[in-house]
């Protein structure tokens, strides 16, 4: 196997000798992080992208079982596979390891070749799962994130915005008179138009945490964490102008003979709201106004009027 430093493994053991031993086995193939105790292991797992954790059970302080339980109850870390690597050899211990979400269980003293083989197997499975997850989150036509990806992101970002008391904005963007476009130019050119609009929205996106997704049909959403209503309105104008600038001919549209979009902007301070459904409704209402007022424009609904 080639050296694949793009996979990162965290090894948790309270013995520096054991850590060195395991590091020597795996380091030629993977990037290795180490932790001598559970608290540090949890900190690393929450901050860094890990592909696997090798976890001793009998640690000082928080036990390996408890670490695994905490990892599996946190959305950010639950998909990291855990292999227990432990001196606890009883059948009951091993069953317990699998029960709380471990993917494999290796007992000490271990054979280096077997540790390596089982680690490779878990990494292989993780890579396949990640690929499937990624494909399941992409829209088939435009190859940008789909509704499923948006549903996951808005839930996560709403909770994050609640914790950090920061504004969260949502743009809902709808292509104007798209039915007429399809009727006039045909469905294949309609599909092509959707792909070009999607690409221009992605190209306009500046921050890594902003998410552009296709909700279905001719409707897109853009989620803007830590963005107040003024900022979101500015971004919406940039997205609107970028689509207009594509100058995709739409002879039967008005007000311009080009493909244009209407955008509804919603903003909320999440800490003052229970659920993100209000934010979606606000952006949706604003989109309705933008359509009603003549299309190719932006309207806003700010659920937290103190946040401009």
Ligand X SMILES: Nc1nc2c(ncn2[C@@H]2O[C@H](COP(=O)(O)OP(=O)(O)OP(=O)(O)O)[C@@H](O)[C@H]2O)c(=O)[nH]1
| Residues that bind ligand X in the complex, under the rule CB under 6 A | 141, 174-180, 182, 187, 190-191, 194, 217-218, 291, 295
Q: Which is nearer to ligand X, 134 or 252 (CB)?
A: 252
The token pair that represents 86 in the structure block: 């432990």
What's the burial of 290, exposed, middle or buried (CB within 10 Å: 0-12/13-18/19+)? Answer: buried
SS3 of residue 161 by DSSP = helix
The token pair that represents 61 in the structure block: 């302080």
- Catalytic residue numbers? 218
The radius of gyration computed from the CA coordinates of the chain, to the nearest angstrom, equals 25
Smallest distance, ligand X to C-beta of residue 182, A: 5
Smallest distance, ligand X to C-beta of residue 234, A: 23
Residue closest to ligand X (Cβ): 190
Smallest distance, ligand X to C-beta of residue 180, A: 6
Smallest distance, ligand X to C-beta of residue 59, A: 53
Q: Which is nearer to ligand X, 26 or 198 (CB)?
A: 198
Q: How far is CA 307 from CA 81, 227, 230, in A?
A: 41, 10, 9
Q: Which is nearer to ligand X, 59 or 243 (CB)?
A: 243
Q: How far is CA 21 from CA 18, 52, 152, 169, in A?
A: 5, 17, 39, 49
Contacts of 301 (CB under 8 A, 6+ apart): 264, 265, 266, 267, 282, 283, 285, 286
Q: Which is nearer to ligand X, 112 or 217 (CB)?
A: 217
């Amino acid at each position: 196997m080639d050296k694949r430093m793009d996979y990162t493994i965290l090894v948790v053991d309270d013995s520096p000798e054991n850590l060195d031993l395991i590091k020597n086995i795996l380091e030629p193939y993977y990037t290795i992080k180490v932790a001598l105790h559970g608290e540090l292991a949890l900190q690393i797992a929450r901050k860094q992208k890990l592909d696997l954790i090798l976890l001793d059970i009998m640690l000082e302080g928080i036990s390996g079982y408890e670490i695994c339980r905490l990892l599996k109850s946190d959305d950010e870390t639950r998909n990291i596979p855990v292999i227990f690597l432990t001196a606890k050899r009883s059948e009951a211990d091993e069953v317990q390891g699998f029960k709380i979400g471990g993917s494999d269980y290796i007992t000490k003293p271990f054979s280096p070749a077997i540790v390596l083989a089982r680690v490779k197997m878990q990494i292989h499975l993780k890579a396949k799962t990640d690929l499937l997850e990624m494909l399941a989150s992409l829209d088939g036509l435009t190859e940008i994130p789909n509704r499923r990806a948006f549903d996951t992101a808005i839930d996560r970002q709403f909770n994050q915005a609640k914790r950090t008391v920061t504004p969260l904005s949502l743009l809902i963007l709808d292509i104007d008179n798209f039915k007429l476009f399809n009727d006039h130019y045909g469905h294949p050119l309609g599909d092509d138009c959707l792909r070009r609009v999607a690409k221009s929205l992605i190209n306009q996106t500046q921050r890594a945490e902003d998410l552009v997704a296709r909700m279905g049909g001719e409707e897109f959403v853009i989620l803007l964490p830590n963005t107040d209503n003024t900022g979101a309105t500015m971004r919406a104008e940039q997205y609107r102008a970028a689509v207009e600038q594509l100058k995709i001919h739409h002879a039967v549209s008005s007000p311009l003979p080009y493909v244009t979009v209407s955008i509804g902007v919603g903003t909320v301070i999440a800490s003052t709201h229970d659920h993100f459904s209000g934010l979606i409704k606000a952006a949706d209402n604003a989109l309705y106004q933008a359509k009603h007022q003549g299309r190719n424009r932006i309207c806003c609904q700010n659920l937290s009027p103190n946040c401009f």
